[in-house]
């Protein structure tokens, strides 16, 4: 009896694992990213650029306040006085990475590289929030406590958890990577 149960277990979960490796895991994780994180990051991107189609290519002063608040403070609140290197470059790269990387992940294009970039982005975003936006301890949270709702440690660790398998396995069979033979 136990041998039959084990055999059934191996067949069912072996098939599931094979299909997940082949196509299901990549598309499932990309759909989760699409549903949960793409709207968040695109909305955040839109707060940093100007209105309308032409505004997408115009970084607004608010982007500096969001990304490099310490540089804005050092410049007396005048973002035009902030040096292009490194702060202007950081704002430019951070603003466009916030839109481009999530779109690449959802499309399954350069999925592994885009996922690594998003993990780095999330880590930097979290550091900026903690160090420069003076968030409170409840927002930061604690790992290994009984409260899984802290915005920074709990939520962002889960975001990274969605991205890690994409780094390891790519976007899967239903991705532009596979279509273009990039993975």
Domain spans, the chain? 22-179
Query: What average pLDDT does this structure show over 125-150?
Result: 90
CA atoms within 13 A on the CB side of 166: 35
Residue 161 CA to chain centroid, in angstroms?
10
73-129 confidence digits (pLDDT tens): 999 999 999 999 999 999 999 999 999 999 999 999 999 999 999 999 999 999 999
Specify the pTM: 0.88
pLDDT confidence tier of residue 133, bands split at 50, 70 and 90: confident
């Amino acid at each position: 009896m136990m041998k039959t149960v084990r055999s059934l277990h191996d067949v069912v979960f072996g098939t599931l694992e094979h299909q997940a490796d082949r196509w299901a895991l990549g598309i499932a994780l990309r759909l989760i990213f699409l549903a949960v994180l793409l709207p968040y990051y695109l909305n955040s991107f839109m707060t940093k650029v100007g209105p309308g189609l032409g505004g997408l290519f115009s970084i607004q002063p608010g982007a500096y306040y969001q990304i490099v608040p310490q540089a804005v403070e050092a410049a007396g609140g005048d973002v035009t006085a902030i040096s292009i290197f490194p702060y202007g470059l950081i704002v430019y790269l951070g603003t466009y990475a916030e839109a481009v990387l999530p779109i690449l992940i959802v499309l399954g294009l350069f999925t592994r590289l885009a996922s690594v970039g998003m993990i780095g982005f999330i880590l930097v975003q979290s550091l900026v929030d903690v160090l420069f936006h003076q968030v409170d301890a409840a927002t930061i949270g604690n790992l290994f406590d009984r409260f899984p709702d802290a915005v920074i440690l709990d939520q962002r660790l889960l975001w990274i958890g969605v991205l890690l398998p994409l780094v390891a396995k790519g976007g899967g069979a239903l991705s532009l990577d596979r279509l273009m033979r990039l993975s």
